[in-house]
Structures are given as C-alpha cells and as structure tokens.
Chains A and B, each alone.
Chain A
Amino acid sequence: MSTLTIDGNEATARVSYRLNEVIALYPITPASPMGEWADAWRSEGRPNLWGTVPEIVELQSEAGAAGTVHGALQAGSLTTTFTASQGLLLMIPNLYKLAGELTPAVLHVAARSLAAQGLSIFGDHSDVMAVRGTGCAILCANNVQEAGDLAAIATRASLHSRLPFLHMFDGFRTSHEIQKVEAIEDEVLRQLIPEQAIAAHRQRALSPDHPVLRGTAQNPDVYFQARETVNRFYDAAPAVVAEAMDAFAALTGRAYAPYDYVGPADAERVLVLMGSGCETAVETAEALQANGEKVGVLKVRLYRPFSNARLIQALPASTRAIAVLDRCKEPGAGGEPLYLDVVAAVAEEWERQHGGGAPLPRVVGGRYGLSSKEFTPAMVKAVFDHLCGEDPLNHFTVGIHDDLTHRSLPWEDGFVTEAPGEVRAVFYGLGSDGTVGANKSTIKIIGESTDLHAQGYFVYDSKKSGSVTVSHLRFGPRPIRSTYLIQRPTLVACHQWDFLGRFDLLAGLETGGILLLNSPYPAAESWRRLPEAMRTTIRAKQLKVWIINASQVAMEAGMGFHINTVMQACFFAVSGVLPREEAIERIRTAIVKTYGRKGEAVVAMNLRALDASLDHLEELAYADLPIVLGEGGLELAASDERLAAAPAFVRDVIAPMLERRGDELPVSALPCDGTFPVGTSRWEKRNIAESIPVWEDDLCVQCGKCVMVCPHAVIRAKVVEPGALATAPEGFRRAPARDHDFEGQTFTIQVGAEDCTGCALCVEVCPARDRTEPKRKAINMAPQRPLREQARGHWDFFLSLPEAPCAALNLRKIGQQQLQQPLFEFSGACGGCGETPYLKLATQLFGDRMMIANATGCSSIYGGNLPTTPWTTNAEGRGPSWSNSLFEDNAEFGFGMRVAVDQQRQMAGELLSLLALPAKLVEAILGADQSDEAGIFAQRQRVAQLKTLLQEQDAASGSPAARLLSVADALVKRSVWLVGGDGWAYDIGFGGLDHVLASGRDVNALVLDTEVYSNTGGQASKATPRAAVAKFAAAGKAAPKKDLGLMAMTYGSVYVASVAMGARDEHTVRAFLEAESYPGPSLIIAYSHCIAHGITMARGMAHQQAAVDSGRWLLYRYDPRRAERGENPLQLDSRAPSRPLAETMAEENRFRMLRFSQPQLARQLERQAQQELDRRWGLYRALASQDCGPTATTTGATQP
C-alpha cells in the first residue's frame, strides 16, 4: 500500500475528483483548497475513475453552486461541491431538495464556525449542525486518513441509499493538518463504487427521451403523506453505511463503524463525540486506562440518519456516565444537538439493547473546541474526572474559563500524553520568510522517504503583512493521533530574532531540548542580546542552542527574505530525526523534485542556500560565555511601557491577544454582543518593516502624494504655526510651508516607523528628486532598526500637534486634502495594499460621519479581525462606525442603515415641530445646508444646542423630548458607505447591490476592485479581466470583465465613478467628493492593485497608471445632476489609450504567466482583449460626447 503525506482537503479531493463528473464551486475557507486541487488536476487533464476529465465550474455564490449541483444531479451526472460555514447555510434550500428527491451525491464540508458575534474562519461543527434537519446524511471523518476513506465510503453509501451525504471533517485541524496516510488506489474505488447504482441514478435523471415531472407544488391533501414516503430509505441508511464501511475494510484493511467504541468492555465512563477531538480523546483515554481507569470513547461517524440502536449497541453495558461533547453552541436550546440525540437514544434504546439489568447511565453534555479552540488531553481528562462526581454539572464547557456563568470545567495543564520517542518541533516564523513552506517540505521528506509517521499543523495569525506563523511538527515511530498543538516540544526554532522579545518561545520545551535561532548577530553577541529570562531558562533546562544568520545566507544565495531552505537544512542538521548526511541528501533530492518544474535557476538557488547553510550553523557554547545579567529584553520592556498608556480594555483584553495569550482570557473579559472599541491598532507597534521611509525636507515639494498612497497611514503631514514646534524633539524635521495658503507656517512629514510595513509605495510615487543626484528622492527607504527609537519620539510629538481644520482646506488640492486626519490606520493589510488608500481617503474626507457596511473579504479582515482594528476616531471622538454582516448581503445591510437613519431623521423632524423649542433653531436645523464641512459643523453645533435644551425639558422615558434626544444625532448628515471587493459587488452580492442602487437612497458603494477574490487566495471573479490567470481560470479568463459601471449607469439615477488613484489622484478625490455629495445612490469602482496580480507591490501605483494608459481601466464620472443641467452626465476623464494593452499586460505576472503555459492562447486572448478595449473605448467616447439636452431624469434621490 503506498503512502501519501497530505492534508485532509487533499485527501478528500483526491477521492472526490475521481468519483465525480461535475464539480460546482464557490471558494470559502477552509474548503477552498479542495476545489483548487480539483481545478489543478483538471488543468492537467487528469481523468476521473471512468477516464473522463470532470467539468469544474465556479459560481457566483454557494447558493449558485448548490443550484448547479442540484441541476447536474437531476441531469444524471455524478456531482459534488466543497464548502463550509455560511456557505453551507446558503446551500440549505437545495439540500432539502436533494434529500427530498432522494438524490445520491456526496458534498464535502470542512466544518467551520458560523459568523455570530464575530466571524471565524476556524473549525467547529456549527455549520454542519445547522443543516442537520435537511434530510442529508452526515458522515464525520476524524482525521486525514478518514477524510479520504469516508469520502469513498460516503459515495458508495449514497449511491446505495439514495440519500445525499454531507461528508464532513474539522476545518483546519483536519482540512489543513498534514499526515502520512495510506493512499486509496483506483482499483479500490472501482471495486467499491457500485456501477449499477450509478446506472440507476442516470436512469432516474431528467431526459426528454423519458420525461417526468419533478419538483411539483403539493397541497395539504398529499404533502404530509409524500413526506413520509422516504422513511424506509432513512431506516435503511445506517445499515447501508455499515455495509459500505465493511466493503471498504475488505478492500483496504481499514475498518470503520458508524459508531465506533474504543475502550475496555467494562468501561464506566464514556465520552461521546465526533470529529478530530475523538483522536485526542482516545489518546487520553488510553493513558488513563493504563492507570486503571475504566474509561472509553464512542466516536460518532454517522450523525444523520442517527441510529439510536446502533449507538447504544456500541456502548458497553457497564457504562454508568456519559459525557456528550458538542463542538458547537446552540444558544437557548435544551442542549447541544449531539447531546440531545444521545439522550434520546439512551432513553429509547438502553433497556432494549442492554436489558433491564444495566442501570440507565447518566448523560451530561458539554461544549468544547469552538472555532478551533484547543482540545487537549488535560481537557479530556477533566471531562472524564467530571463524570466521577455525584452530580456532574450538565451543559458545561471545557477549554475556556467561564467566570460569568461558571459552566467551565477546570483542567490541569500539567497532564500531557505526548508519546516518548517523538520529535516534536515548533517553528516560529513570518509568513513572508517561507517557514511554513519549508516545514511542509520537511514533513513530506520524512513522511515519504522514511518509516516514520509525520504530522504537521500550522497556526496563522490574521494579518496579511508581517503575519506570524507557528508550525507544529511531530515525527515518530507510531501513528500520531495528537490533534492538538505541541505542548512539550523537543525542539523550538525561532526564525525571526524579534520574536524573542514578543513570545514565550521556551514554554514547555523539554529539558535537554534544542533551540535553533536565526540570529543577525555572532554567537556571543546573540547570547548577550537574548532576554535575560530566556538565558536563565536555557541554562536551567540545559538546552542545546544553535545559531545561524539565515537571513544573510539566504540573501547571498539570491533567495531574498526566504530563509526556508536554510532553516530546513539546519533543522535536519540539529534535530536528529535523520542522520545528518542522509537528511541533507534528502533535502537535495526534494529541492530538485519540488523546484525542478519551476526551472534550473530555482533549483540552483535553493541548492546554493542548502550548501551554504551548514557552513554557517554553529552551536552556541553558552557555558563558556560569561553570565550577563540585566541585559537583553530591552525592546520588550519598551513595548510594555507603551501599553501602560493604553485604555484598560486594550491592556486587559487586546494586549493578551497580541501576545498570543488570548486563550487565557476569561469569558467576562469579552463583550457579550461582539462590540469592540475602535482605535486599537495604534497600540500594536508591530515593527515589521526592515526599512522605512525617511523624509528629506529640503527636497520635498509638499505634494501630499506619499501621504495619500500610504496603505497603512504611517506617513502623515501637518502644517502648524512655527511656535508649535518649539518643544519638538531633536532632529524633528520640518520645512517652511510652500502652499501660499499656509504662508508663514511650517510643514512637516513624519513616519510611524513602528507601524510601517516597509512597502515603499511612498518612495515610488514621490516626484521630487535631488537634481544633482537624482537617485535621492524627497523620501527614501532606510533600515528601520537604527531609526526606531528616534522615530518613536518624533511620531509621538507629531501626533500631539493640532490637526488641520477641515473646513479651511481646499480639498481639491492633494497637498491640502492630505492634511486631513485619516481615521483608518495601521491595518493588517498587505504591504503596499491597493485597497486601503481608498478607505483611508474616505475617512479623511467623511470619516466623522461615516457608517460603513463592510462585505466579508480582505477589507473586513484587515478592518475587523481581532485583536485590533484600524478604524479610529478624531479628537472629538467621532469616526466611522463599522460593521460586517455577511459576504452576500452587504449592500442590503448598508441599505438598512440608510433606511434607519432616514427614518430617524424623519422622526426627529416630526418631533422638532411637536416640541416647544426656539423656532429659529428648529428652522435652522430643518433647513440646514450640509453640503460641505462648514455646513455640517454648523449643524452639529445646532444639534448640540438642541440636545442641551432637550435635556432641560421633561426627559422622562418615552416623552417626546426623550424620543427626540435619542434620534437627534440623525439630524446631522450621515454618510452611509457600502464597502467591499469585486467578489461581493460583481458576484455574490451583485443582486443586492443592484437593488440598492435602484432604490434611489443616498448610499455610497465603494468597490475595491482587485479583479480577483483576494481574501481567499486569488480565485477568478466576474471582475477578472480576460486573459488573466487566476484560480479556476488557470488557462486565462476566457470571458471579459463585467462592466459594472456601465450597468449602473443605465439607471440614469446613480452616480458612477471609475477611479485609479495611481493614475490620477486628484480625479479620485473629486469622484469621492461628488459621490458623497450626490443625494442618491453612488457607485465608486476603485482599481486596486493586489498581491494576487503578481506584481512588485511597491510599484502598484505604476501598474494602476499602466492600466489607465492602455485603456484597460477607464477613468470616468457619471453624475445624474449634470443631466438635470442639460449636460452630458458622463465625463470621460481618461485620455485615449496611449500604450498597447499587451505591453502593459506583460508587466503583470497574472497575464504574463499564460504566455509561458499557453502562448498561443495568451496571444489570442490578448488580441480579443485589445478588440474589446477598443470597442469599449469607442462606446464610452460616444456616450461622453453625446449632446444632452435638459431631461426629466433623475436625481433618483428619494430624500425623506
């Protein structure tokens, strides 16, 4: 039997791909990789089991995918999809249909949390439990091996039973965990899959050759009876599943049961659960059994149809207490789903199965592991111990500290069951340094070329720049069942020196263990610079410490910041998992194999790095070095000091999360409704930039471009009276203000060095050069570390300087506009992000009155993923109020905000005239012109006055005054923004967006158009341009980009703008101002360069310019107000294309790569794209040049 070292997604996809003919997809974490594997294999022309290449289609949403699955099944094809979380919920209507029509199919679910008080991409059973009533069978795999095996078993069972199956496994813990597994050969599948049942499925399919009617509408006379017709299928299904498992076991030797009891026959305490937690539970139970405890574990694999009889049969008659663990929460229910099912099973079947002699066991339920919360042996033991009590608490939790309702069980961290003889290695790296990739390679090397078992699990944080990754690798002679993070590492590798001061790296590291450090310093200096506590632990635990300057070795080998190969070689050299020489040879072979397809140059580069690695690796002989006390750890102390000034919530709740101690937070620390304070990203100070911009005051022309493009708001400008700088710290740079409006004042630009990502976008756009040495610009990159301390002081002083009064600024001049305070800062977006400059601009212009509905996607992640948020407030405490509902409903979500605010304003207006208030004030409020900053400022003053007056009146609850007080703020202009990416606006949310635009309401839709699903890893959307390579469009997108702007213009009542900041920044500002001022719906489509474009992000703005120069992206504004004035509403702001499209496409790898893979096709698509571009340019030019007389259209504003 051959083995593979793969993750659960791949294990599933390998089976599913071979057993299906149609695959309908929509990307969603953590299920996306299954679809991506399938797409990759299809691109290679890999056939399924029957020799045909499956058809793979990407839909606009999970609802669309489910509809397509339903249709394909009705047409008789073997069909599947892969999904998770709210995506699965979007399929619910069709799941009922599939089941109701007895349609065999297996849909694969990487089970994930549902967005409730907050979204989570991580694993639990909330999604699957939410569809348990659909009639679909649910089969749960507990580990990577089972994921593949049960995918096959489910297919046989579905075809035989005619029930659609949801095959589920835990998101991330199984979907993304790499394990060494036994492969399932084609021959096994051939013997397993019943051809006759497939033929029957085809025979039942819709066909005009033997037409039938399916999908009728039924009346009260027969619906009920018809619903009962399926009972026999459900009654038979558990036996069908058991038969499929037996058949599979006969073919492979791997035996499963729908309800698998593991433990002694005389067990008294039994845990019942499903999913990856079973593995840890069994590992723990076995450790406890070894100590004589009578404990066992019942693994539930078949959750629906739930077989009470089979489950009770599986339990030993000696069972006295059962703890049912659910990996979900059903607030308000009598218990969680599995618990209730087990209670019912015990009540119904215990006596029947075990006779009257066996007393009915006590059953308690508990929750564990939500959102991939750790579930460790200590927690399992806590549950078993809990069952020993006389009256164990029911509906408990385990794994958290519930200090509010006191339902959590305590556990002993010291209880560990990790096997002796294992190598357990934990690696701390940056996402950008290649650590995870190296570790995946290591697992494959060991898994595929030795007899050792291997496991890898990877923890990512939620930042897209400077993200920290922690890899957990286990290797050992026995199968590895530990589905939890490593608790007692034998080796810790720290791939980034700065982490030493941030994380407790040595926690749990075994005495005599190994510490591998990537250090920029020589050995002795490294020792001196280690935090003192770390040196003490190293000595106490007698660790072996190895040092290498991997960054230097990698740089010299041409690998840039990727230290993957270097650190991988060092790991093998010091870990002892394989003999050193053998290990290096295996890496060499792996490099040739892995990178061979990418070319000799890539292979050579990695081999150079490999060969150089061991020469630079040295053991730190600290015993010979002097004991240095009181040094090291300085940076950690500094960051502690900074947090001392933070609000209590940041110190008490945010800070532990930042320090990766969020698991320690008790329930009481967290908001009960998902509401968090804003302005928290400023406390992070991630210090992730190698180099930062340095401003040259003598060269700067004060144009504001660097400030404008900075994606993280770390470059800021202010103009102040010279006296304000009297107390400026030494070296604080400044220059006389050049703008005549600021005559006599002083201009300064400062850089938030500790928040900068080092993207260099600012340097690229800087137009000012030293005329005598043009390589010196007015802003240049320089190493951050030496500048950090001084820059920190300068930044703090800069922030203390007064902000520019917005009402006095000329917002059409970038240099002045960019003096506005951004209320979006220091996000976790990618370095050089093309989206965030637009968001930042919007907050500068309108932040104090913005309400933002943010579609799920990149912007919701860098905007709202804990621990911190970049959305912040001004000195008055005003700023954008932000919320994320879902991916698909964002336009409607924001529309709801608008409707509510309009209604509140109407109520306020009505109440104003009811109450005895100064007539002049009421008149001024109701007639206020709020079309500019000054008008809004004046209205705020009036409303403040009104509120003071109201507070003096009868403010009893329910009185008119009190009611007016509660809605008075709505009398000040609110700017409602619908923000999202192209996946939302062009695909999943298009219907809603279209409806809202047609409503005439005053909303502003900002589409951050990256032309691809960026957040889930680069899948094609309908915004993806023709010829671009993306996931699900590996052969280049064959269809043109949807012209969303043109569609919106057809209403005639929607303000539409297409902008590209990198091409014309003042045009962008103008469009934002016009859109916001338009008293109806506005749509801004903003070109956003993206990491998925295959570009150097520092050149992002130049790519925007190229897109406009070629005509691929048009700049225009369509303003219905112009039509009312008899002018053409469309202003085409682009010049005629000045560069060939193909030339600019060649500058982006997303287009260029197709020239390598399919050059003829690339040329053909490029030609088509150029023709479309020419036609589109002609159309827009014609539309913009039409002579428009006065017309009755249209400011669709339906102002209340």
Chain B
Amino acid sequence: MSPDLSTTYLGLELRSPLVVGAAAPLSEDIDQLMALEQAGAAAVVLHSLFEEQIERDQLDLHQMGMQGAESYGEALSYVPEQALFHVGYDLYLNHVSEARERLSIPVIASLNGTSPGSWVRCARQLEDAGAQAIELNLYAIPTDPDLSSAAIENQVEEVVAEVRAEVKLPLAVKLGPFFTNFSAMARRLAAAGADGLVLFNRFYQPDIDIETLEVRPNLLLSTPHDLRLPLRWIALLHGRHPLDLAATSGVQRGTDVVRLLMAGACVTQIVAALLRHGPQRLAVIEAELSQWLEDHDHATARELIGCMSQQRCPDPSEYERAQYMRAIQTFHPMAP
C-alpha cells in the first residue's frame, strides 16, 4: 500500500506536501493551473498581487494615456481610453475566483507589499473572491540609513496585524531571512495573527554587465543548495511557535521534500523545478517521495514532520553557530 502523503497546512487538508509556489508563469494562466493540479499539486499559491506593481501599473498606464494627449488637434489621445481602466485588484480577484471555480485543490492567494496602507483592504476582497488562505509576502530593501531595524520589524508586524484584522482566512507570512533574530520575529508574527511562515522569500539579485557597465536584473532559478537556509531555520523554529512552516527554495527531488519535512515543514513549495521541467515534474517528485517513504517503512509523510528539528534531532547545536565553525574546520582543500 502506498504511503499516505497527506498533510495539513494553515488548516487546509492537503493530499501531499507538494504545493506550487507563487510564480506568475505558473499561475497566471488557468489552463496551466489545471495542468499542475493534474500533475499532482496539493495546493497552489497564486502569483503575488504586488502593491507596488499595481501602483506602478496604474501610474504607468495613466501616464501613457496622458502622453501626447490634448496637445495636437488631430490626435487628442493615442490609446483607446477604455483599455486603460483595468489596472487594479479586480483582475487578480477575478483570477482567484476563476481558479477556485476550476480547481478542486486549495487556492492560496498571495499578497505582496511593503508598508501598511489601504492595500491591505484587498485581503478581504481576496477572501470574498474565494481564496482559501492568504500568503502575505513582505519584502523591501531598506536603504534609508535613518531607518532602524526595529522600525522595520515594527512595520512588518503592523502589516500582519492589519491584514489579520481584515480577514478570518488562514494567514501565512513569507519573509526574507534578513532579520537580526528571526526567532524573535517569528514569535511577534505569531502574536500578530500569522498562522504560518513561508521560508524564505528568494530575491532576484541584479548583476553587472562588465562590458556595457550596466546593472541588469538577473533571474537565477533556485538549485538544491538553496534549501539549506530554509532547512536550518525551519528546524530551529519548529515546535517553538504556533506556526505552520512551509519551505521554499531549492526543492528539486523527492529527497529534498523529505529533508524539509524532517526539519519541520508541513509543506514544500516548488517553483524552479516546474519552471525548468514543466508541471509533470510534480508527479516525479511525488513518486520519489512516495518511494522513499516506502523504502524507509514510513506509512505517512506526517511522521517525518519535525523529526529532525532542533528540538528533536540528536545534536541541536548542529543548527547553531557551531555548525558553521565545524564546517570550516573540517574543510580540506583538494590537493593541487
């Protein structure tokens, strides 16, 4: 008998820990979502509704409508005005509704913002549109030297509390790892109303073109090495806060899922592998996970969750600073 892969995340009963992570190429087309469901996705996190993106798009299209308008008698405008009136939450909300209608797996909406504001009202609209949970994606690059880390943390907490006040839906918070004490942050977020954490947000880092001397965006998909950071922090956090933990970054194989479950993740979010290999990769990962469980006499995937967390692993210090020290000390360069 095949092992039971089911898990629970944010109160949602899922058929497996394999969740499609937020990425526009995977989720903005309903047909693509159907294919992912067909391939075994247990849930899908829709691509993010970006607060900044919406603002930028609105202003951008507004500017486009103004560009050259009312200047010259023959051409008082250059674009059909009615085509400009669709930039906002509506499009995303419709997408959520349609995804809910067409999919049988849970649909998690993703909301991306940086600061408190009216945009959090959108969370309620997401709920109305049928989202079964919200993943709140908080990310900014603070460059203001007068902005303290405490202020940033306060702001994050404030946004979570505001969204929590708006909706009853399960709420996961997706963050980057760059906090002075992530564990303390996790506690504050739990207190502010978060039900789960998604570790970690992965950022597109710019690159330098050394010929043209230009800074260019450079999209690098994650590799298995990238799962080490979430693995560590999931292991450190598991069992310490009333939060469901989701792992993202670097999940390529079934064994990657195993590792992350062992660290304490309820689910793993997969993006890069699907972008590289298409929706069918999900079926491969699921088969590998199932096979591993079977090979190791596990009847359920749930049994793995947290078994190698810091609280339950044989050597908790491995997850702390000593782990880094040992790594250096035991590193022997190859002979030339």
Q: B-contacting residues of A (Cβ < 8 Å)? A: 29-30, 32-33, 36, 39-40, 43-44, 121-122, 172, 176, 430-432, 434-437, 440, 458, 460-464, 467, 469, 558, 560, 562, 595, 597-602, 605, 767, 769, 771, 774, 830, 861, 1014-1018, 1029-1034, 1091-1092, 1094, 1149-1150, 1153-1154, 1156-1157, 1159-1160, 1163
Contact = CB atoms under 8 A, between A and B. Distances in A.
Given A39-B80, A44-B82, A1153-B79, 20 more contacts: A30-B73, A431-B69, A431-B72, A434-B66, A435-B70, A460-B71, A461-B72, A598-B84, A599-B59, A861-B74, A1015-B74, A1029-B79, A1033-B80, A1034-B80, A1034-B82, A1094-B61, A1094-B64, A1156-B57, A1157-B86, A1159-B95
Nearest to B98: A1160
B78 A599 contact: no
B68 interface: yes
A598 B78 contact: no
Which one of A469, A1034, A1094 has the highest number of Cβ atoms from chain B below 10 Å of its Cβ?
A1094
A40 B81 contact: yes
Interface string B80-105: 11111111100100010000000000
- Decide if the interface of chain A is mainly helix, strand, loop or mixed: mixed
Given A29-B74, A598-B58, A1030 B69 contact: no
Contacts, number: 160
B62 A598 contact: yes
A1016 B61 contact: no
Contact of A434 (B58, B70, B88): B70
Contacts of A861: 74
Contacts of A464: 68, 71-72
5 contacts: A29-B74, A431-B71, A598-B58, A1094-B67, A1154-B83
Contact of B28 (A40, A1149, A1159): A1159
A810 to B, nearest CB: 26
A1032 B79 CA distance: 10
B76 interface: yes
Contacts of A434: 66, 70
A1071 B95 CA distance: 48
Given A464-B68, A1034-B80, A1153-B83, A601 B74 contact: no
Contacts of B65: 598
Contact of A431 (B70, B82, B118): B70
B125 interface: no
Contacts of B222: none
B64 A600 contact: no
B79 A1016 contact: no
A431 B58 contact: no
Contacts of B30: 1160
Given A469-B70, A1159-B28, A1017 B84 contact: no
Contacts of A1094: 61, 64, 67, 78-79
B63 interface: yes
Nearest to A431: B71
A1003 B87 CA distance: 47
B55 interface: yes
Nearest to A436: B70
Contact of A599 (B76, B87, B214): B87
B46 to A, nearest CB: 13
B29 interface: yes
Contacts of B82: 40, 43-44, 1034
Nearest to A857: B74
Contacts of A436: 70-71
B75 interface: yes
Which one of B78, B86, B212, B214 has the highest number of Cβ atoms from chain A below 10 Å of its Cβ?
B78
A1017 B88 contact: no
Contacts of B74: 29-30, 32, 121, 861, 1015-1017
Which one of A29, A176, A774, A1159 has the highest number of Cβ atoms from chain B below 10 Å of its Cβ?
A1159
**Top 9 A-B pairs, shortest CB-CB distance:** A431-B71, A599-B58, A1017-B75, A436-B70, A774-B213, A601-B55, A460-B73, A1018-B78, A1034-B80
Nearest to A39: B80
B115 interface: no
B59 A467 contact: no
Contacts of B75: 1014-1018
B77 interface: yes
B207 interface: no
A463 B61 contact: no
A271 B61 CA distance: 50
B78 A1017 contact: yes
A382 B16 CA distance: 91
B225 to A, nearest CB: 27
B67 A460 contact: no
A437 B70 contact: yes
A1153 B61 contact: yes
Given A121-B74, A462-B72, A830-B68, A602 B62 contact: yes
B60 interface: yes
B221 interface: no
Which one of B60, B61, B72 has the highest number of Cβ atoms from chain A below 10 Å of its Cβ?
B72
B71 A598 contact: no
A1031 B70 contact: no
Nearest to B118: A600
B64 to A, nearest CB: 4
